[in-house]
A and B are shown apart, each in its own frame.
Chain A
């Protein structure tokens, strides 16, 4: 029996095989969509770049060389150099680490938080719902960037505070989705059945409702990643995010702004990086939506 047969077996012999088999089916379905494959490759390249940044980058991201200021792209400096003579390619490569950290931490903080708050509000309803959702609505009614700005201004500039600020501003959208999904799920008969078996509310929410919300959440988080990167870049651009000399892409654009007419590459190169990575997350998210949509479940 080949691995493939084992994965696609009609009658799996263990819970592990059943779950791995399902994941494999999702994966193969994803592979059939060229755009999502492209998105996946972009994200993979981003991951590898971040991981092997010291090996890939030819120069130090912070090492200044004032005799090499503002050189155009060439065989030595692929993306040119900036106003302090630093190699832009090396900075973009190192910057991927910062971008990835921001993305990962924001996802890890805001998605579970939103998921839990939304599921609790939806499951219990009544005044719990009113309070939690009122709170959520206050956050939702303020523009994201402005709110993040306010938080960073209060917490002090810096990359960590930027992450916290973005996470705080992005959970309400997830809470809304999780609540909407929970409302449709909570009256389902399979939920009644576990309630009848004696399961308490925590067990019902965590083990039975959340697993059904996660797929739409994964899709939404992936699609939002582009926005997160842009917000982080925006904060960096204003000077409230990553502080110099950290090679954060938004901050790099900000500094390149001064020379944008004469030395276009200083601002453009990190801009490309932002666009490509954002697109990658969007493509992957779209592909995931098609394969994870619960409505397409069962038509296998």
Chain B
């Protein structure tokens, strides 16, 4: 059974259609990347799956079950999202503890204190961070908190929207290692949006190259590593990265 299945997905923001007829299957436990430049619609697909971009037609299934438009309580326990900007994704007036307890409180799950401690340990944050406010944390630490928050409901699928592009290289390495380890430990499925091909090469197994709201090519990471992408646009992207 595939973890995520998109059939003929069109997504619009008001009058403008930004994603056109996307078909995609992501297997359970797979790590899949959506690659493209800004405006290619890759983040929009993520938001549609999460329920944050409700104006779509076609079909989105999560673990075999078609999902509704909009945010949905049952989906929230299977799919969670990590955002790009670690400075904008944490509530400025809530402690880390409050941010991590919130999903548990919403779903009426008990034992919150212990669960928060456990998840902090999982993402490699010391317990002394627990009652700090976001402004007392560095970018990398905030991103760890954001990942921890996404893990609170023990989802099967994580949607990652450029999770490391706002971070320094050395911090990026830490977060990438963390994501890789979490995926192995919890058998998570990743759907990651990024413009950074080396990150794809490190973390993913397959990738889809997007342009102007359409998927241009779906390829294996092995193809990426050997520089054997088929479409001219994919090669262009690869050349721009490899040239550096």
Tell whether any CB of A sits under 8 Å from a CB of B in the complex. yes
Q: Which residues of B contact A198 (CB under 8 A)?
A: 71-73, 76-77, 103, 106-107
Say whether A15 contacts B76, CB under 8 Å: no
Say whether A188 contacts B88, CB under 8 Å: yes
Tell whether A189 pairs with B93 under 8 Å between CB atoms, given A195-B71, A196-B76, A196-B80. Answer: no
Q: CB of B81 within 8 A of chain A?
A: yes
Cross-chain pairs A/B with CB under 8 angstroms, 27 sampled? A11-B128, A11-B132, A12-B132, A14-B131, A15-B97, A15-B98, A18-B97, A18-B133, A190-B92, A192-B50, A193-B89, A193-B146, A193-B150, A196-B76, A196-B79, A196-B80, A196-B81, A197-B80, A198-B71, A198-B76, A198-B103, A198-B107, A199-B102, A199-B106, A203-B106, A211-B94, A297-B135
Q: Give complex CA distance A220, B71 in Å.
A: 34
- Show the binding face of A for B, using Cβ within 8 Å: 10-15, 17-19, 22, 188-190, 192-199, 203, 207-208, 211-212, 294, 297-298, 300
Q: CB of B117 within 8 A of chain A?
A: no
Q: Give complex CA distance A19, B96 in Å.
A: 12
Q: Give complex CA distance A18, B94 in Å.
A: 9
Q: CB of B52 within 8 A of chain A?
A: yes
Q: Which residue of B lies closest to A194 (CB)?
A: B102
Q: Which residue of A lies closest to B76 (CB)?
A: A198
B97 to chain A, nearest CB (A): 6
Q: Is the interface of A mostly helix, strand, loop or mixed?
A: helix
Q: CB of B120 within 8 A of chain A?
A: no
Say whether B92 contacts A197, CB under 8 Å: no
Q: Which residue of B lies closest to A300 (CB)?
A: B135
Docked complex: B105-140 residues within 8 A CB-CB of A:
106-107, 128-129, 131-136
- Show the binding face of B for A, using Cβ within 8 Å: 50-52, 71-73, 76-77, 79-81, 83-85, 88-95, 97-99, 102-103, 106-107, 128-129, 131-136, 146, 149-150, 152-153
Say whether A189 contacts B106, CB under 8 Å: no
Say whether A190 contacts B88, CB under 8 Å: yes
Say whether B71 contacts A196, CB under 8 Å: yes
Q: Give complex CA distance A211, B50 in Å.
A: 25
B40 to chain A, nearest CB (A): 20
Q: Which residue of A lies closest to B71 (CB)?
A: A195
Q: Which residues of B contact A294 (CB under 8 A)?
A: 92
A298 to chain B, nearest CB (A): 3
Supplied contacts A189-B85, A190-B92, A196-B76, 12 more A-B pairs, CB within 8 Å: A11-B132, A13-B131, A18-B97, A18-B131, A189-B83, A189-B89, A192-B81, A193-B149, A196-B81, A198-B107, A211-B93, A298-B135
Q: Which residues of A contact B129 (CB under 8 A)?
A: 11
Q: Which residue of A lies closest to B132 (CB)?
A: A11
Say whether B103 contacts A11, CB under 8 Å: no
Q: Which residue of B lies closest to A201 (CB)?
A: B71
Q: Which residue of A lies closest to B136 (CB)?
A: A10
Q: Give complex CA distance A193, B131 in Å.
A: 19
Q: Give complex CA distance A195, B102 in Å.
A: 11
Q: Which residue of A lies closest to B96 (CB)?
A: A18
Say whether B106 contacts A197, CB under 8 Å: yes
Say whether B91 contacts A190, CB under 8 Å: yes
Q: Which residue of A lies closest to B135 (CB)?
A: A298
B141 to chain A, nearest CB (A): 12
Say whether B153 contacts A197, CB under 8 Å: yes
Tell whether A193 pairs with B93 under 8 Å between CB atoms, given A14-B131, A198-B71, A297-B135. Answer: no
Q: Which residue of B lies closest to A14 (CB)?
A: B131
Q: Give complex CA distance A294, B102 in Å.
A: 22
Which residue of B50, B79, B133 contacts A22 across the interface (Cβ within 8 Å)?
B133
Q: Give complex CA distance A14, B134 in Å.
A: 15
Q: Which residue of A lies closest to B73 (CB)?
A: A198
Tell whether A11 pairs with B81 under 8 Å between CB atoms, given A189-B88, A193-B89, A198-B73. Answer: no
Q: Give complex CA distance A297, B88 in Å.
A: 13
Which residue of B50, B72, B89, B131 contacts A190 across the interface (Cβ within 8 Å)?
B89
Q: Give complex CA distance A53, B127 in Å.
A: 51
A196 to chain B, nearest CB (A): 6
Tell whether A190 pairs with B103 under 8 Å between CB atoms, given A15-B95, A196-B52. Answer: no
Q: Which residues of A contact B84 (CB under 8 A)?
A: 189
Q: Which residue of A lies closest to B91 (CB)?
A: A190
Q: Which residue of A lies closest to B107 (CB)?
A: A198
Say whether A297 contacts B92, CB under 8 Å: yes
